Amino acid sequence: MGMLSRLRGLVRYALGQLKRPNMLKVGDTAPDFEVQDHTGKTVRLRELRGKRVVLFFYPKADTPGCTKQSCGFRDRFPDYQKAGISVFGVSFDTVEENAAFAKKFGFAYPLLCDTKRELGLAYKTCDSAQDPYSKRLTYVIGADGKIAQAIDTKDPGAQAATLLAML
> Active-site positions?
66
**Cα-only R_g, the chain:** 15
Distances from the Cα of 107 to the Cα of 71, 120, 147, angstroms: 7, 22, 25
Q: Are strands 52-57 and 42-44 parallel, antiparallel or unpaired?
A: unpaired
Q: How far is Cα 128 from Cα 14, in angstroms, rounded to an integer?
A: 29
Helix (H) or strand (E) holding 37: none
Are 111 and 102 in contact, with CB atoms under 8 Å apart?
yes
Distances from the Cα of 39 to the Cα of 7, 11, 12, 74, 96, angstroms: 37, 37, 34, 17, 9
